[in-house]
């Protein structure tokens, strides 16, 4: 399972995302859904980014809206997968979150790892 800290990935590119957080989240999810990355994939959205993509599953990619702090949702997803002995990789550059998810057995990769595997956005 690949679990993506969308805020962290979007925030890693200085492309004006802060002017349209919902649009930036939508573009990222569209790129992930169009990718050939192995499924399942879970993308966690928080704050204003939640307005960009509805919760649910499409093309093997699940979008989860964090009710509060996204890190708590990401850590809970990693812990649940770890408890089920399911391999999980979390995409984030947040050191605190990385430490939390590693304790539940998750591997951690940075946003660049993911971005290098996605097609450039269209439009």
Supply 12's token pair.
């890693």
Structure confidence at residue 123 as a pLDDT band (50, 70, 90): low
Digit-coded pLDDT (tens) for 39-93 = 999 999 999 999 999 999 999 999 999 998 899 999 999 999 888 888 999 999 9
Residue 45 confidence (pLDDT): 97
CATH 3.90.550.10 fits 2-115, yes or no: no
Domain ranges of the chain: 2-115
Q: Residue 4: pLDDT above 80?
A: yes
CA distances from 112 to 9, 35, 48, 57, 66 (A): 8, 15, 23, 24, 23
Long-range contacts, stretch 17-21, CB < 8 angstroms, 24+ apart: 21/47, 21/48, 21/49, 21/51, 21/52
Q: Assess whether pLDDT exceeds 80 at residue 122.
A: no
What is the pLDDT of the chain when averaged over all its residues?
93
* pLDDT over 80 (residue 121): no
Least confident of 85-89, 100-104, 117-121: 117-121
Q: What is the pLDDT of residue 75?
A: 96
How far apart are the C-alpha atoms of 5 and 8, rounded to whole Å?
Answer: 5
């Amino acid at each position: 399972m690949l679990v993506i800290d969308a805020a962290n990935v979007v925030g890693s590119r200085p492309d004006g995302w802060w002017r349209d957080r919902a649009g930036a989240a939508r573009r990222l999810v569209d790129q992930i859904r169009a990718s050939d990355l192995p499924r399942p994939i879970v993308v966690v959205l928080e704050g204003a980014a939640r307005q960009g993509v509805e919760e649910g599953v499409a093309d093997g990619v699940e979008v989860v809206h964090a009710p509060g702090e996204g890190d708590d949702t990401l850590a809970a997803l990693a812990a649940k997968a770890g408890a089920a002995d399911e391999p999980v990789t979390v995409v984030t550059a947040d050191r605190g979150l990385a430490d939390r998810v590693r304790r539940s057995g998750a591997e951690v990769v940075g946003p660049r790892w993911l971005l290098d595997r996605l097609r450039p956005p269209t439009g």
